[in-house]
Amino acid sequence: MNETVNLSRAERQRLQLQADILEAAFLEFSERGYHQTAIADIAKHLGIGHGTFYRHFENKRDILQHVISDTIQKIMALLTDENAPQAFVNIEEYREQCQRISKRFRQFAQENPLTLKLLLLEATSIDAEMTQFVHSVMHMGGVVTADYLKHGVELGIFRANLDCENTGHNLVGMITQGALRFLAQPEDEMGLKNYADSIIDLIVAGMKA
């Protein structure tokens, strides 16, 4: 049974207001920049008082943490089922998987450019703790990417001496550079696709057994 159905009306309203505050804060961060946005700006956007805001979030940094965590969940959801680390059995399937993931990542970037801007350009300027959190997210990306490579080594389609851990982190670095390129030239869809395809070619050629 859907758990939402069992929630009281007051609880549903609370969750909706929390979601509305997140969206309003996100829009204000994107328009003004994180440091230039005040709680008053977010509250004014929604027509609520400061007290209402603080019943849902500790401060605007708390909101940014929620935005980043939600972004991570959405990205991880792209890496399931046919795009999971153990879903391919040969080099052709691996290339096709890379192409699917690349396409979904590009679509995500086009649909969520402000989210990428907050994650890659704003978050690391908040404080040391937030910077460390972003770095841990990038590290997790490298670990997940390494799982694909380890599976390829186990299948015998990637080189047995492949340094999966470091290669995984290197690939995340190239993907991050592609995201920054997108933020600089969001209209250049073909250029971004060509960049992504070149990474896939480099992976397959460099790792193939």
pLDDT in tens, 113-132: 888 888 888 888 888 998 99
Give per-residue pLDDT as tens, 10-31. Answer: 888 888 998 899 889 888 887 8
Q: Supply the CATH classification number for the domain 3-54.
A: 1.10.10.60
pLDDT at 200 over 80: yes
Residue ranges of domains in the chain:
3-54, 60-207
Q: Which residues pair with 208 in a beta bridge?
A: 158
pLDDT at 5 over 80: no
Closest CA to 57 of 11, 17, 4, 112: 17
pLDDT at 178 over 80: yes
Give me the pLDDT at residue 190, please: 95
Q: Which two tokens stand for residue 51?
A: 């007290």
Give me the pLDDT at residue 151, please: 97
Closest CA to 142 of 169, 160, 103, 163: 169
Neighbours of 39 (CB within 10 A): 16
144 or 71, which is more confident: 144
User: How much of the chain, in percent, has pLDDT values that exceed 90?
Assistant: 58
Q: Average of pLDDT values for 130-156?
A: 94
pLDDT at 97 over 90: yes
- Highest-confidence segment of 50-54, 66-70, 164-168: 164-168
Decide yes or no: CATH 1.10.357.10 for domain 60-207: yes
Instruction: Look up the pTM and report it.
Output: 0.82
φ, ψ at 159 (rounded to 5°): -55, 140
Measured CA to CA in angstroms, residue 141 lies from 7, 73, 75, 105, 113 at distances of: 35, 12, 10, 13, 19
